[in-house]
Amino acid sequence: MKEKIHPKDYRFVVFKDVSNDYSFITRSTIKTRETIKWEDGKEYPLVKVEISHKSHPFYTGKMKLVDSAGRVDKFKSRYKKHLEQKQAPREDDNQ
């Protein structure tokens, strides 16, 4: 294994899943400007994530649509005409 390639400035960081307000603390080297007071009363750096193991469909077994930026609605509106044409019965199908 190569030496001196891994960072040495690990610290405790809180990761917060914004889709369900689940938070967990772990060691990381990620840089952040926000902080949060943890359950032990100490203040730790905070990293907000959109999806974690508590909200990801693979781990939960539920198909939950996480769409914080409205991307799904934009896609549906953009391709609405195409989808309607595909779902409409064609004249050739009736014969």
**35-61: per-residue pLDDT in tens?**
999 999 999 999 999 888 787 766 667
Segments of the chain assigned E as strands: 11-17, 22-28, 35-37, 43-49
Q: Is the pTM here over 0.75, yes or no? A: no
What pLDDT is recorded for position 89? Answer: 66
CA distance 16 to 7: 23
Grade residue 91 by pLDDT with cuts at 50, 70 and 90.
low
Band (pLDDT 50/70/90 cuts) for residue 66 is low
Return the pLDDT at 34. Answer: 96
Residues 6-46 pLDDT 10s:
888 899 999 999 888 899 999 999 999 999 999 999 999 99
Does 4 have pLDDT greater than 80?
A: yes
Buried b (16+ CB within 10 A) or exposed e, 48-68: eeebbeebeeeeeeeeeeeee
